[in-house]
Amino acid sequence: MHILVKVVVVIGAVIIFLLLIAIFVKKEYTVERSLVINKPNQEVYDYLKFIRNQDYYSKWVMTDPNMKKTFTGTDGTVGFNYAWDGNDKAGQGDQQITKLVNGEQVDTEIHFIRPFAGLGWASMFTKSLPQGQTEVVWRMKGRNNYPINLMNLVMDSMLGKDMDVSLHNLKNILEK
């Protein structure tokens, strides 16, 4: 019984310690990744503005090949909505195009329903480089309230790793 009390005290102390740390962690997070694609800017942008193309490069979409998807509006235009309902890894939510700047930027708002409710924003930026290359910058922003904001300490490594995989998938598709 004495060992059980020690275990409970240690677990309680760890929980209290984590809750105290969370008080000082920012509630907002930003994760950004980029890479260069050996294709002209307009060609890259024209592919990115169609949200349905994420089916071919997004690591998150690929986690559930049987995911249910619903599309509302005209893809590649402001207001287009892509809703998904997938397995435990893919979760459930929707993504809507909120802003397009031809040849430069695609902004979306993402509502997460499952496994955790939340709101996020994603932007894909394209920039022309010499020799017909394009730099693609993918930025994701969000907010986690206390005490979930503790996750923000690992958000860059968690999201960033998947963004890197997705960007490399995109590069492979466009450079074929």
Looking up residue 42, the CATH number of its domain turns out to be 3.30.530.20
112 within domain boundaries: yes
Q: Distance between CA atoms of 25 and 175, rounded to whole angstroms?
A: 40
Would you state the torsion angle of the CA atoms of residues 71, 77, 79, 82, taken in this order, to the nearest 10 degrees?
30
Write the burial class of residue 110 (CB in 10 Å: 0-12 exposed, 13-18 middle, 19+ buried): middle
Q: How many domains does the chain have?
A: 1
Res 95: pLDDT: 97
Written as one letter, the residue type at 107 is D
46 within domain boundaries: yes
Q: State both tokens at 110.
A: 């993402």
Beta bridge partners, 128, equal 134
Res 128: pLDDT: 97
**Per-residue b or e along 150-159, where b marks 16 or more CB atoms closer than 10 Å to that residue's CB:** eebeebbeeb
153 within domain boundaries: yes
56 within domain boundaries: yes
Res 155: pLDDT: 85
Q: Distance between CA atoms of 138 and 133, rounded to whole angstroms?
A: 16
Res 45: pLDDT: 98
16 within domain boundaries: no
85 within domain boundaries: yes
Q: Which residues does the chain have with pLDDT short of 70?
A: none
Q: Distance between CA atoms of 50 and 124, rounded to whole angstroms?
A: 11
Domain that holds residue 52: 27-175
14 within domain boundaries: no
Res 127: pLDDT: 97
Element (H, E) at 70: strand 68-72
135 within domain boundaries: yes
Instruction: Give yes or no for a contact between 174 and 67, defined as CB atoms under 8 angstroms apart.
Output: no
